[in-house]
Amino acid sequence: MSALESLPMAKALNAGLRKAMQDDPKVILMGEDIGPLGGVFRVTEGLQADFGENRVMDTPLAESGIVGTAIGLAMRGYRPVCEIQFDGFVFPAFDQITSQLAKLTNRHEGGISMPVVIRIPYGGHIGAVEHHQESPEAYFAHTPGLRVVSPSTPHDAYWMIQDAISSDDPVIFLEPKSRYWPKGEVDFAVRGRTLHSTAVARVGTEVTLLGHGAMVAVLLQAADLAAEEGTSVEVLDLRSLSPIDYGPILESVRKTGRLVIAQEAPGAVSVGSEIAATVAERAFYSLESPVLRVSGFDTPFPPAKLETIYLPDADRVLEAVDRALAY
């Protein structure tokens, strides 16, 4: 493997999991069809053949059982990485995650750690059926005791999955499934950023656009279109949804005076809502216009033929940019 390589995110995640398993024999993978099949999205392809069935384990179709078993393994010193096949399948394990996994360290006054990673492919853009295109990040970001992150590039995916596995706290690792296959450069020698840091994806001066996961590519597209019309837009990649690194966000807003937050998830009581409120509290006098949000609608995710209407695109983002500039 060369120091620099162009890979899709799925392959970068595979490489990151492989490196973590090579570095620590206590790292084990668990999930439905992750063994010989390599998972629905082939993220774990080839890992069972190389590390064996005791470290890459096909589980029954029982998400609560997967996470409950991972909690027990973590108590015995292992570092389990659980794959939830699709975003909408995580809810049978929701009680285990929010009532047990998130609380055990606090319940024992720090006496035990819970180094468990829950990998969840999430979001739309793949034309799938019900329960396969949801964005449940707000549920987990709202839960104290959980770290919640989402990469938007193959490079970040490679490093962030290793950082998540090395964390002694439980990490909800959200993988934007629509970004599994577009390629990007991965630097295997230079990490670049810490796990919980907001990144500047594009420098600009007039409006700040903020998003995470698959939305970052949409924001970059919107920024290109805005530049053609003479508007300089800065794009921030949130990367960590809990905790949120507000430093770069506030710095950017104080420079541009305008903030547009975009997400695939519904807008009400969301991560975007929290960021909007915090920016209004901490950078009010720098704002030239209200903080604006562009999101999925406050409805269940629609049938596949309607997903392009439901999901924010560059046009909806640019409409918000125009409104921000009009104040």
pLDDT (tens digit per residue) in 107-145: 999 999 999 999 999 998 888 878 888 999 999 999 999
Predicted local distance difference test score (pLDDT) of residue 130: 81
Q: Give the model confidence (pLDDT) of 154-211 as tens digits.
A: 999 999 999 999 999 999 999 999 999 999 999 999 988 999 999 999 999 999 999 9
Percent of the chain with pLDDT over 90: 93
Tell me how far apart the alpha carbons of residues 245 and 20 are, in angstroms, rounded to a whole number: 25
Assign domain 7-187 to a CATH class.
Answer: alpha beta
Contact 94, 134 (CB under 8 A): no
Task: Show the tokens assigned to 164.
Answer: 């998540």
For 257, left (φ over 0), alpha (ψ -120 to 50), or beta? left
25, burial (CB in 10 Å: exposed 0-12, middle 13-18, buried 19+): exposed
pLDDT at position 2 over 80: no
Residue with the two structure tokens 């995916």: 157
pLDDT > 70 in the chain, percent: 99
Quick one: tokens of 42? 């082939």
Report, as an integer, the average pLDDT of 204-230: 97
Give the separation between CA 301 and CA 309, rounded to whole angstroms.
Answer: 11
Average pLDDT, the chain: 96
Measured in degrees and rounded to the nearest 5, phi and psi for residue 270 equal -120, 175
CB-based contacts of 52: which residues, under 8 Å, 6+ apart? none
* Amino acid at residue number 8: P
CA-to-CA distance for 22 and 233, rounded, in angstroms? 42
pTM above 0.75?
yes
Same fold yes or no, 7-187 and 199-326: yes
pLDDT at position 82 is: 98
Q: Is the pLDDT of residue 94 over 60?
A: yes
- Residue-wise pLDDT tens digits, 67-82: 999 999 999 999 999 9
Cα–Cα distance list, 35 to 59, 87, 92, 274 (Å):
9, 20, 22, 39
Window from 58-67, 126-135, 144-153, 246-255 with minimum mean pLDDT: 126-135
pLDDT for residue 9 is more than 80: yes
Strand 4-8, strand 183-187: pairing = antiparallel
Tokens linked to 55: 């470290």
The model's confidence at residue 1, banded by pLDDT at 50, 70 and 90, is low
> Is 108 one of the catalytic residues?
no
For the chain, give every domain's residue range: 7-187, 199-326
CA distance 310 to 312: 7
Q: Please say whether the structural domain 199-326 has been given the CATH code 3.40.50.920.
A: yes
What DSSP designation does 93 have? G
Whole-angstrom distance between the N-terminal and C-terminal Cα of the chain? 51
52-63 per-position pLDDT tens digit: 999 999 999 999
Whether 62 and 38 have beta carbons less than 8 Å apart is answered as no
Residues 292, 320: contact at Cβ < 8 Å?
yes
The two tokens of residue 228 are: 């053609």
| Joined tokens for residue 43 | 């993220």
Q: Is the pLDDT of residue 304 over 90?
A: no
Residue type for position 86: F
The pair of three-digit structure tokens given for residue 321, joined into one six-digit string: 């940019």
Active site residue: 125, 131, 132, 155, which one? 132
CA 60 – CA 32 distance, rounded (Å):
6
d(CA 318, CA 225) in angstroms, rounded, equals 8
